[in-house]
């Protein structure tokens, strides 16, 4: 595996999209780590719920995407969210760089479980999430994989199985 391995993107995605295709995207690129998946994020005024505070929907979307990818990397298959629980620990201020981390935890016969958190550079936790993810049907997984954008050092989940 190269020094840094990333995940593919989908140009229209709210989280990892291309701003030329989706002007509302957060334009994040997920990195594969020894423990799972992570992405850095700094919210700005476009992402507020209350003045100076990141909207819970943005936090939830980041956690959903991160822990979902963690399962995909671990299982080498694509998944879809079945259930997501988010615990908001403290308000996340805008203009603060945080890391969103996700890890695959457990695999059952019908679904997989993952968890993650949003933390700052001092280790302060702003939110935690856990979720259940259903395996994507093979024909849909290949269709999705075909429209993902792969750059150098991106992990092709389906090719690695």
Give the pLDDT of residue 147.
95
Q: Are 156 and 149 in contact (CB under 8 A)?
A: no
7: left (phi over 0), alpha (psi -120 to 50) or beta: beta
The parent domain of residue 129 ranges over 5-147
pLDDT tens figures, 77-122: 999 999 999 999 999 999 999 999 999 999 998 899 999 999 999 9
Do the domain assignments include residue 154? no
Total number of domains in the chain: 1
Detail the DSSP E strand segments found in 8-74: 31-32, 37-42, 48-50, 53-54
> Which pTM value belongs to this model?
0.95
**pLDDT band at 160; cut points 50, 70, 90:** low
Task: Give the residue from 124, 132, 131 showing the smallest Cα distance to 89.
Answer: 124
Place of tokens 């615990």: 87
100: CB partners within 8 A, 6+ apart: 38, 39, 40, 41, 62, 63, 66, 116, 117, 118
Give me the CATH number covering residue 34.
Answer: 3.10.129.10
Do the domain assignments include residue 122? yes
Give the pLDDT of residue 159.
83
Report the mean per-residue pLDDT for the chain: 95
Q: State mean pLDDT over 63-89.
A: 97
Do the domain assignments include residue 132? yes
């Amino acid at each position: 595996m190269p020094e840094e391995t990333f995940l593919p993107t989908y140009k229209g995605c709210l989280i990892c999209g291309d701003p030329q295709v989706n002007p509302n995207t957060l334009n994040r690129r997920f990195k594969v780590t020894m423990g799972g998946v992570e992405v850095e994020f700094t919210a700005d005024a476009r992402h507020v719920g209350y003045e100076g505070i990141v909207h819970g929907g943005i936090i939830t979307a980041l956690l959903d995407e991160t822990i979902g990818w963690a399962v995909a990397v671990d299982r080498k298959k694509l998944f879809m969210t079945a259930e997501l629980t988010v615990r908001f620990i403290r308000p996340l201020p805008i203009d603060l760089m945080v890391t969103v981390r996700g890890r695959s935890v457990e695999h059952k016969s019908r679904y997989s479980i993952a968890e993650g958190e949003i933390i700052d550079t001092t280790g302060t936790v702003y939110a935690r999430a856990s979720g259940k993810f259903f395996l994507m049907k093979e024909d849909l997984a290949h269709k999705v994989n075909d429209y993902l954008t792969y750059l150098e050092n991106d992990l092709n989940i389906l090719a690695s199985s």
